[in-house]
Structure 1
Amino acid sequence: MSFSPAVQAQSSDVMNRLNRLENEIQTLNRAVYKGESLPPSAISGDPASNAATEVRLQQLEGELRDLRGKIEEQSYEIRQMSDKLERVTGDIEMRVNDLEGGRAVNNSTGGGSSPSSDYYDGGSSSNNAGVGNDDAFTWSSNPNDGGSANQQLGTLSSSGASSGDPAAAAYENAFSLLKNSNYEAAGKEFEAFIQAYPKNDLVGNAKYWLGETYYVRGEYETASRVFAEGYQQFPKGAKAADNLLKLGMSLGALGKTGDACVALGQLKKDFPAGASPVIRRADQEMSRLNCS
Structure 2
Amino acid sequence: MKFKALLLLTILIFSSANADEKVNKVLEELQQIKKDLKTLEKAVYSQSFKGSGKKQVSGSLEGALTRQLVKITELEEQMQKLTASHEEAMFSFEQLNERLNKTQRDNELRLSDLEVGNFKKISKKNKTKKFPGTDKPQNLGTMVTQKETEQQTSSVNPASVVKIEEAETKEILPKKSPEEQYKFATSLIKVGDYDQAELALKEFVKKNPKHKLAGNAQYWYAETFYIRQLYHDAAAAYLDGYQKYPRSLKGPQNLLKLGVTLSELGEKDQGCQMLDGIKKQYPKAKQSVIQKAKYEKKKYKCPSVG
TM-score when normalising by structure 2: 0.46
